Amino acid sequence: MIAAAFALMVSAFELPASYRECRLKQLTECKTTSYLVMNAGFQSAVKSFAGSVPTKFVRGVKTPLWEEIIEVLHGPPDPPIRFSDGSYLFTACQAHYCPNKGAVILSPRGEIVAAAMFTSEGADPWNPDLPSRLALDIFVSTSPARILRERPMDEWIAQSEANWRSVLADEHSPIEGSNVRIWLVQPKTRSMHLLAKRSWR
C-alpha cells in the first residue's frame, strides 16, 4: 500500500528543519500541505480520525480509509487557507494522478474536523468511452460542521469539479452525473454511515 509505505519512509529519516517546525499544534509553520503530510503526528491523527474502515474511493480496491486520505494529499500541494473561525484548510492532489483532489480541515488546536476527496467513479484513461460520475466524498467524525459551508471550501469544490470536467472532456469521456456524500466515520467499529447524499446530472 503506497500510503502505508510512505508513512514508514517518513518515520525512517529526519526531515529538514523547516518541515520539523510544522506541527499539529503549530500549523502556522506548515507552509504547504506537503509540510503537514510529512509530519508523523498528522499521519497518526488521520489514522485516529478515519481508522481502517475499508473503502475504495481512490484505488477501486478495498483500502483503509486513512491510507486513501493520505494518498490524495501527498501529491502537488497548495498553501493552507484560514477559515473565519481560525480553522485551516489544507488541499493537494494525488501523486501521479492529480485529477483526484484531497482536502483536510483542522481546528486551530490541530484537531481534524473533516476530510474530503474529489474523484471520478468509473474514469478510465484506457477506456474513455466508459461514462464517469464525479464524486465528492466528505468524512466527519461528528455531525457536519458549519465550516464545511465556508467560501474557501466551496471554491475548492468548484475548482476540483472544473478540473475533472476538463480532464474528461480532453479524453472525450462522457459524464453521467455527480454525487455528493457526507459520511460519519466510526473508526473504533471500522465502519462509516452515510449522513447525506445528493445526486445530479
> What are the Cα distances from residue 137, in Å, to 90, 94, 186, 187, 199?
16, 15, 15, 17, 12
How many folded domains does the chain comprise? 1
Asked if residue 9 belongs to a domain, the reply is no
Asked if residue 76 belongs to a domain, the reply is yes
Q: Nearest-CA neighbor of 3 among 185, 42, 111? A: 42
The predicted pLDDT at position 150 comes to 81
Its domain, for residue 90, covers 16-200
- Residue 112: exposure state from Cβ atoms within 10 A (0-12, 13-18, ≥19): buried
The predicted pLDDT at position 17 comes to 64
The predicted pLDDT at position 59 comes to 80
Asked if residue 171 belongs to a domain, the reply is yes
The predicted pLDDT at position 174 comes to 86
Asked if residue 173 belongs to a domain, the reply is yes
Strand, helix or coil for residue 40: helix
Asked if residue 30 belongs to a domain, the reply is yes
**Greatest CA separation for the chain:** 48
Asked if residue 8 belongs to a domain, the reply is no
Residue-level pLDDT, tens digit, the chain, 201 residues: 555 544 544 444 456 666 678 999 999 999 999 999 988 899 999 999 998 888 989 987 889 999 999 999 989 999 999 998 899 999 999 998 999 999 999 999 999 999 999 998 876 666 667 788 899 999 998 876 676 778 899 999 999 999 999 988 888 888 888 999 999 998 888 889 999 999 865
Asked if residue 2 belongs to a domain, the reply is no
76 Cβ contact list (under 8 Å, min separation 6)? 92, 93, 95, 98
* pLDDT, tens digit, 9 for 90 and up, residues 167-182: 888 888 888 889 999 9
Asked if residue 55 belongs to a domain, the reply is yes
Alpha helices (runs of H) in 122-200, residue ranges in sequence order: 151-170
